[in-house]
Amino acid sequence: MTTATGRALPPKTVNAAFAGFLVSCVFAVTSIGVLVGTRDELVDALRASGTRMTEEQLQSAATITQYTFAGIALVIALVQLWLAFKLRSGRNWARILLSAFTALQIVSLFVGEGTATLPAYGGALVAGLAVVASWLPASNAYFETVKKAR
User: What was the pLDDT predicted at 4?
Assistant: 46
Q: What would the 3-class secondary structure string for 77-136 be?
A: HHHHHHHHHHHHCCCHHHHHHHHHHHHHHHHHHHHCCCCCCHHHHHHHHHHHHHHHHHCC
CA distance 36 to 3: 46
* Residue 128, domain member (yes or no): yes
Using DSSP's 3-state secondary structure scheme, residue 1 falls into coil
In a domain, 64, yes or no: yes
**Per-residue pLDDT, 132:** 98
Position 102 scores a pLDDT of 96
Q: Assess if residue 6 is contained within a domain.
A: no
The verdict on residue 1 lying in a domain is no
Report the pLDDT value the prediction gives residue 83, as an integer from 0 to 100. Answer: 98
**Phi, psi (5° rounding) for residue 83?**
-65, -35
pLDDT score, position 124: 92
Residue 3 within a domain: no
Query: For residue 35, what are the domain limits?
Result: 12-149
Number of domains, the chain: 1
What distance in Å separates the CA atoms of residue 78 and residue 40, rounded to the nearest whole number?
28
For the chain, residues with pLDDT lower than 70 are: 1-6, 112-116
Report the helix count and the strand count for the chain, using DSSP H and E.
Answer: 6, 0
Residue from 27, 33, 118 nearest 80 by CA: 27
pLDDT in tens, 71-86: 888 898 999 999 999 9
pLDDT of residue 1: 59
Is residue 4 assigned to a domain? Answer: no
Separation of alpha carbons 134 and 38, rounded Å: 35
Residue 5 lies in a domain: no
In a domain, 53, yes or no: yes
Measured CA to CA, the distance from residue 61 to residue 2 in angstroms comes to 54
